[in-house]
Structure 1
Amino acid sequence: MAFTLKIDHKTMAMSAIALTSGLAVYSTYKYYSLRRQKHKENVYESEKYLSEYLVFHYGSRQDLLPYSFGPHDSLDFPKKCADICMKNFTKKAGIPSRALDIGCAVGRSAFEMTKLFDEVIGIDYSQSFINACNQLKSKGKLSYSVVTGGDLRLPLEAVIDPSLQGDACNLSPNLGQFGCVLAANLVCRLHSPVDFLNRLASLVATDGVLVITSPYTFLPEFTPKDKWIGGFKDPDGREISCFDGLKQILAPAFELESDEDMPFFIRETARKNQWTVAHVTVWRRKS
Structure 2
Amino acid sequence: MALIIAGAAGAGAALLVKHILAARASGKGESVQERSTTSSAAGGAAAYETKKAVDEYLQFHFAAPDDLLPYPNGPKEALAFTSRLAQLCERHCEALRDFTGERGDAVAVDVGCAVGGATFELARAFPHVLGIDYSHHFVDAAEVMKVRGFCEYEAVVEGELKQKFMAAVPTEVDRNRVRFMQGDACALSANLGTVDCVLAANLLCRLPNPMAFLERCKSLIKPGGILVLVSPYSWLKGWTDKDKWLGGYYKDGQAVRTADTIAAVLSPDFDLVAEQDCPFLIREHARKFQWGCSHAVVWKHKGRAV
Q: How much does 1:142 deviate? A: 0.5
Tell whether the 8 Å contact from 1:95 to 1:207 is kept in structure 2 after alignment. no
Q: Which has the higher contact order (CA 8 A, sep 6+)?
A: 1
Instruction: State whether structure 2 residue 120 is matched by structure 1 residue 116.
Output: no
- Name the counterpart of 1:281: 297
CA distance in 2 between partners of 1:40 and 1:112 (Å): 27
Tell whether the 8 Å contact from 1:95 to 1:205 is kept in structure 2 after alignment. no
CA distance in 1 between partners of 2:77 and 2:180 (Å): 38
- Name the counterpart of 1:33: none
Structure 2, unmatched stretches of 5+, are: 11-41, 182-188
Q: How much does 1:3 deviate? A: 6.9
The change in CA–CA distance for 1:252 and 1:95 in structure 2 (over 3 A counts) is farther
- Name the counterpart of 1:132: 141
Aligned AA (2:7): L
- Name the counterpart of 2:271: 255
Q: Does the residue aligned with 2:222 lie in a helix, a strand or coil?
A: strand
CA distance in 2 between partners of 1:221 and 1:167 (Å): 35
Tell whether the 8 Å contact from 1:105 to 1:124 is kept in structure 2 after alignment. yes
Q: Deviations over 1:94-136 (max 9, x none)?
A: 3761000000011011111112212111100111111111111
Tell me the TM-score normalized by structure 1. 0.83
Instruction: State whether structure 2 residue 184 is matched by structure 1 residue 146.
Output: no
The equivalent position to 1:189 in structure 2, one of 188, 206, 209, is 206
Q: How much does 1:197 deviate? A: 0.5
Q: Does the residue aligned with 1:123 lie in a helix, a strand or coil?
A: strand
The change in CA–CA distance for 1:40 and 1:187 in structure 2 (over 3 A counts) is closer
Q: How much does 1:47 deviate? A: 2.0
- Name the counterpart of 1:4: 6
Tell whether the 8 Å contact from 2:279 to 2:292 is kept in structure 1 after alignment. yes
CA distance in 1 between partners of 2:44 and 2:276 (Å): 36
Q: How much does 1:170 deviate? A: 9.8
Aligned AA (1:263): P
Aligned AA (1:5): G
Tell whether the 8 Å contact from 1:95 to 1:208 is kept in structure 2 after alignment. no
Structure number having the greater helix percentage: 2
Percent identity of equivalent pairs: 39
Q: Does the residue aligned with 1:117 lie in a helix, a strand or coil?
A: coil
CA distance in 1 between partners of 2:44 and 2:280 (Å): 29
Instruction: State whether structure 2 residue 166 is matched by structure 1 residue 166.
Output: no
Tell me the TM-score normalized by structure 2. 0.78
Q: How much does 1:5 deviate? A: 2.6
CA distance in 1 between partners of 2:225 and 2:282 (Å): 30
Tell whether the 8 Å contact from 2:123 to 2:175 is kept in structure 1 after alignment. no
Q: How much does 1:48 deviate? A: 2.0
The equivalent position to 1:103 in structure 2, one of 104, 112, 122, is 112
- Name the counterpart of 1:226: 243
Q: Does the residue aligned with 1:166 lie in a helix, a strand or coil?
A: helix
Tell whether the 8 Å contact from 1:95 to 1:178 is kept in structure 2 after alignment. no
Aligned AA (1:267): R
C-alpha root-mean-square deviation of aligned residues, in Å?
2.4
- Name the counterpart of 1:77: 81
Q: Does the residue aligned with 1:268 lie in a helix, a strand or coil?
A: strand
Q: Does the residue aligned with 1:94 lie in a helix, a strand or coil?
A: coil
Tell whether the 8 Å contact from 1:101 to 1:109 is kept in structure 2 after alignment. yes
The equivalent position to 2:93 in structure 1, one of 89, 95, 105, is 89
CA distance in 2 between partners of 1:41 and 1:242 (Å): 22
CA distance in 2 between partners of 1:96 and 1:217 (Å): 35
Q: Does the residue aligned with 1:222 lie in a helix, a strand or coil?
A: coil
- Name the counterpart of 1:19: none
CA distance in 2 between partners of 1:269 and 1:227 (Å): 33
Tell whether the 8 Å contact from 2:153 to 2:165 is kept in structure 1 after alignment. yes
Q: How much does 1:280 deviate? A: 0.3
CA distance in 2 between partners of 1:65 and 1:253 (Å): 41
CA distance in 2 between partners of 1:126 and 1:239 (Å): 33
Q: How much does 1:168 deviate? A: 9.2
**For this pair of structures, how many residues does the alignment match?**
256
Aligned AA (1:208): G
Q: Does the residue aligned with 1:221 lie in a helix, a strand or coil?
A: coil
Structure 1, unmatched stretches of 5+, are: 7-12, 15-37
4+ residue stretches of structure 1 with deviation over 6 A?
38-41, 167-171
